[in-house]
Amino acid sequence: MDVYYFTEMPYAEFPESEAEKFPSMRLTFPNTYFDPRLASELFRRYLDEYQYAEEVGFDGLMINEHHNTPSCMDVEVNITGGILARITKRANILILGNLLPTTDNPVRLAEEIAMVDVISGGRLISGVVRGIGVESWATNTNPVYNRERFEECHDLLIKTWTTPGPFRWEGKHFHFRVVNPWMVPIQKPHPPIWVPGTGSPETVEWAARRRYTYAAFLTPLEVAEDLFKLYHKHAEEVGYTPGPEHFAFMICCHVNDTDDKAQEEGRHFLWRMGHPLRGPQAYFAPPGYVSRIAALMTSRRRPKPLNQLSYQELQEANHLIVGSPETVIKKLRHIKERLGIGALLLEAQAGQMSHQTTMRSIELLGREVIPALKEL
Amino acid sequence: MADGYTDTFVEVAETNLRLLRGGQGEPLLILHGAGGNRGWLRYAQSLSRRFQVYIPDHPGFGKSDQPEWIASVPDLACFYLWALEDLGLSRVRVMGLSMGGWLAAEMAVLCPQLFERLVLVGAAGVKPTQGEITDIFLLSPAELTAKMFHDPKQAPEYEQLYGAQPTPEEQDLRTRNNEMAARITWKPYMHDPRLPSLLRRLRMPTLIVWGREDAIVPVNCAEIYHQNIRGSQLVIMEQCGHVPPIEKPQQFVNIVSEFL
């Protein structure tokens, strides 16, 4: 099992009480709270942490993208992907992922991703995502077409990487006279594709039919099991039996020298579990963004939203693993064995967790936890 | 024929369309807004004393089919021109409410000879020069309802329309209406940049009715319609919000009847 380091690169440099003055910390929280000079320091620190994660033994580095939110400063994963490609040497670079439906130029996107793959010498994993509902607002992309645009953008990316140019594309949402980018990926036929999900059955089926790795994000273990079973079913339908490499699981994690210290510092994750998930329903579910079936399944699967769970409940539900190396090893082993995953994605920095604390957690994860997880 | 109207499906423009129809006289087509067809309300009943009133669920809304090709309000206008032909209707009076007003204006500029008279009520479709058209998709249903009325107490059908929690079936229809409305009005939001220029082609008698306190489509849009449609009449209803036919049905019917 490969272990990945991940941070959303938050900007938590304002009092939480400020965020509470607004309907949400996403979309409409005023950007006057943003200080670019502070952000510059934060980027330096987050990138240092990624570098260190590789150094101490993480197999991969994961990055993601959001818009109009202090919970995630990464607004262009291909920029950070390009930086990581240059400042690291060995680790996989997992972009999870590029927002396909909100892009208007899939060919440009194909070029950017290919460039990251080329700069990294073929270490890129190219995740693709539909984006949360807020991204439809932030980019003003019609949410009704979210899934259609996701699928067409994906098809065009793959064709751009695998079909010798020039060719022409006349689709429903995208139209190109001459597709013939000079920049194509090192990895053949193309970099691996991963897809995250929290419950949409359509996404599981879509990934399974294409043999893409499906990453369950912050779901209860039993839900991840259900989703993986569904993946198996669709895989069998198209004639293959999936292995661990087809499954990944993302959770939050903090390790410290003792359980007590870890419990104290792990509270920084409450910022991440709280504010970014609060807001009017319309922000998260614009018209047509969620299919009626998916909405039903999601409500069945996670009876209580993450931002209504206590610190204790978050840990009991395995959304957040906190403790000394010994405690964390035990819990992560349980998850690994129960889910049969090929990759564990650890979000190991959040909110105002300091650089020093984050570095210690990364160090303990790399030097003690990861080696123990690789035994057996 | 309960309460003087029928609720049936008609096959028009290769689409199964739900249609409320009642009354006798010249045809009057009423086009509903983004929230969907509110049914056969008082104002429709009153108008049906003089006209044969047609109130369809737009394609993709309510119980009507959704043809794949309809992706914009001008598309919807093309659909209705075809539908009117299939219904054998010509020299039609058309009245559009909110998004339906936008639709009526698009139909009128596409095929002016088909329409006898045009009534625009709190119509979307043109970009205000002052203020903005409220983003209805960002509002919760309760917030939207609150914004639609100046004073709900003066709307006799308010309780009947908004008093009870929606049933699961009603909720499902609401979701469907919202999705179709987003499909056709998302960007540019609730307006067609070409429309003011095209309106200048119109010569048909046109009545523009607006609530002074309209908090969804600014009264400024009424003025833009009025300036661009030659000879149009503008009536602003005082102490009234976005939906005059529901908030002040009697006064609304008096104003419209006189014009029609």
For residue range A172-226, list pLDDT tens digits in order: 999 999 999 999 999 999 999 999 998 888 899 999 999 999 999 999 999 999 9
Residues of A in contact with B137 (CB under 8 A): 282, 286-287
What percent of chain B shows pLDDT beyond 70? 99
On the CB side of A25, CA atoms within 13 Å amount to 28
Q: What is the pLDDT of residue A230?
A: 97
Q: Within a 10 A sphere around the Cβ of B130, how many other Cβ atoms? A: 10
Q: What is the pLDDT of residue A375?
A: 87
Q: What is the pLDDT of residue A190?
A: 98
Residue of A280, A282, A288 with shortest CB distance to B183 = A288
Q: What is the pLDDT of residue A227?
A: 96
Tell me if B43 sits within 8 A of B27, measured CB to CB.
no
Q: What are phi and psi of B150, to 5 degrees?
A: -75, -50
Collapsing DSSP to helix, strand or coil, A278 comes out as coil
Residue of B140, B181, B183 with shortest CB distance to A280 = B140
Residue of A283, A288, A292 with shortest CB distance to B182 = A288
Burial class (CB in 10 A: 0-12, 13-18, 19+), B168: exposed
Confidence band for A104, pLDDT divided at 50, 70 and 90: very high
For residue range B143-186, list pLDDT tens digits in order: 999 999 999 999 999 999 999 999 989 999 999 999 999 999 99
| Rounded distance between C-alpha atoms, residue A226 and residue A199, angstroms | 9
CB contact under 8 A, A282 and B138: yes
Buried b (16+ CB within 10 A) or exposed e, A284-311: bbbbbbbeeebeebbeebbeeebeebee
| B interface residues, A as partner, C-beta within 8 Å | 137-140, 172, 175, 178-179, 181-183, 186-187
Q: Within a 10 A sphere around the Cβ of A104, how many other Cβ atoms? A: 12
Mean pLDDT value of segment A118-132? 97
Confidence band for A234, pLDDT divided at 50, 70 and 90: very high
Q: What is the pLDDT of residue A294?
A: 59
Q: Where are the alpha helices (DSSP H) in chain A?
A: 16-19, 36-56, 77-87, 106-119, 133-139, 146-162, 201-209, 221-237, 259-266, 269-274, 281-284, 292-301, 311-316, 325-339, 355-364, 370-374
Mean pLDDT value of segment B193-213? 98
What percent of chain A shows pLDDT beyond 70? 96
CB contact under 8 A, A144 and B183: yes
CB contact under 8 A, A282 and B178: no
Q: What is the pLDDT of residue A18?
A: 95
Q: Within a 10 A sphere around the Cβ of A28, how many other Cβ atoms? A: 16
Q: Is the pLDDT of residue A121 over 60?
A: yes
Average model confidence (pLDDT) across chain A: 95
What is the distance, to the nearest Å, from the Cα of residue A131 to the centroid of all Cα atoms in its chain?
10
Q: For an interface test with B, give the residue of A141, A144, A290 to mutate (most B CBs within 10 A).
A: A144
Residues in chain B: 260
Count of A–B CB contacts within 8 Å? 36
Tell me if B239 sits within 8 A of B150, measured CB to CB.
yes
CB contact under 8 A, B179 and A137: no
Residues of B in contact with A144 (CB under 8 A): 179, 182-183, 186
Q: What is the pLDDT of residue A300?
A: 53
CB contact under 8 A, B138 and A281: no
Residues of A in contact with B184 (CB under 8 A): none
- Of all residues in chain A, the one with the smallest CA distance to B183 is A144
For residue range A57-75, list pLDDT tens digits in order: 999 999 999 999 999 999 9
Residues of A in contact with B181 (CB under 8 A): 287
Q: What is the pLDDT of residue B2?
A: 53
For residue range B11-24, list pLDDT tens digits in order: 999 999 999 999 99
CB contact under 8 A, B140 and A287: no
| A interface residues, B as partner, C-beta within 8 Å | 137, 140, 142-145, 280-283, 286-288, 292
Mean pLDDT value of segment A23-36? 96
For residue range B92-116, list pLDDT tens digits in order: 999 999 999 999 999 999 999 999 9
Secondary structure of chain B in HEC code, one letter for each residue: CHHHEEEEEEEECCEEEEEEEECCCEEEEEECCCCCCCCCCHHHHHHCCCEEEEEECCCCCCCCCCCCCCCCHHHHHHHHHHHHHHCCCCCEEEEEECHHHHHHHHHHHHCHHHEEEEEEECCCECCCCCCCCCCHHHCCHHHHHHHHCCCHHHCCCHHHHHCCCCCHHHHHHHHHHHHHHHHHHCCCCCECCCHHHHHCCCCCCEEEEEECCCCCCCHHHHHHHHHHCCCCEEEEECCCCCCHHHHCHHHHHHHHHHHC
Q: What is the pLDDT of residue B130?
A: 96
Q: Is the pLDDT of residue A299 over 70?
A: no
Q: Which CATH superfamily is domain B5-259 in?
A: Alpha/Beta hydrolase fold, catalytic domain (3.40.50.1820)
Buried b (16+ CB within 10 A) or exposed e, A222-245: ebbebbbeebbebbeeeeeebeee
A62 vs chain B: nearest CA distance in angstroms? 32
Residue of A145, A286, A292 with shortest CB distance to B137 = A286
Mean pLDDT value of segment A137-158? 97
Q: What is the pLDDT of residue A199?
A: 84
| Rounded distance between C-alpha atoms, residue B83 and residue B17, angstroms | 9
Token readout for B251 is 């006064």
Collapsing DSSP to helix, strand or coil, A232 comes out as helix
| Omega before A189 within 30 of 0, i.e. cis | yes
Nearest to A328 by CA among A278, A227, A253: A253
Confidence band for A293, pLDDT divided at 50, 70 and 90: low
Residue of B140, B172, B182 with shortest CB distance to A144 = B182
Q: List the beta bridge partners of residue A153.
A: none
For residue range A345-371, list pLDDT tens digits in order: 999 999 999 999 999 999 999 999 999
Q: For an interface test with B, give the residue of A139, A140, A141, A142 to mutate (most B CBs within 10 A).
A: A142
For residue range B52-70, list pLDDT tens digits in order: 999 999 999 999 999 999 9
Residues of B in contact with A137 (CB under 8 A): 138
Taking CA B18 as the corner, what is the angle to CA B13 and CA B19, rounded to the nearest 5 degrees?
95
Token readout for B25 is 């006289």
Q: Is the pLDDT of residue A301 over 80?
A: no
